Structure 1
């Protein structure tokens, strides 16, 4: 610490230039297929290791978020039903934004 509460360590670990190879931006269909197939064969696990093992040049966090929010088979997409909308309104009225 430098007396101001700031740590002098800028990186948590030495990465030997690996960060320069990390791909950012939108995922391609090919990357999605690689991730889905890898998880189908090996299951979910330590996401940083999964990203390297699958051959993706993405961070573990990026792989985890892509899987959980877009690619997982039980993620529901589309419009909500009228019953779901009523339930949301009822819970909002009862509990607010908690």
Structure 2
């Protein structure tokens, strides 16, 4: 089974901060075509980024359901209650808080 190299020598990969134009290209491409194989998506969208960079940008910043900002006092109280019950078991805290939210 042959694998393609992750970096092609003839394509220059852009590094550094994302621009607003790149964000809009990625958002519009995913809105029209959906998510898929991220390396192919990066090339098809015309972004000079790696597939991993596009995936991380989408999942951590651009996805519509990503919440930003401070937690509410009710959420803070819930976290404290769950921490008192489960301790530092973050997996249990996240699982239980997703049930309540």
- Place the TM-score, normalised by the shorter chain, in its bin: 0.7 to 0.9
Instruction: Report deviation, 1:25.
Output: 1.1
Q: What is the total number of aligned residue pairs between the two structures?
A: 86
Is 1:43 matched up with 2:34?
A: yes
Give the secondary structure class of the aligned counterpart of 1:61: helix
- Structure 1, unpaired ranges of 5+: 1-11
- Structure 2, unpaired ranges of 5+: 90-101
Query: Counterpart in 1 of 2:22?
Result: 31
Give runs of aligned pairs for residues 1-98 of structure 1, distance below 5 A: 13-14=4-5, 15-18=7-10, 21-98=12-89
Structure-2-length-normalised TM-score: 0.77
Q: CA RMSD in A?
A: 1.6
| Between structures 1 and 2, the one with greater helix share | 2
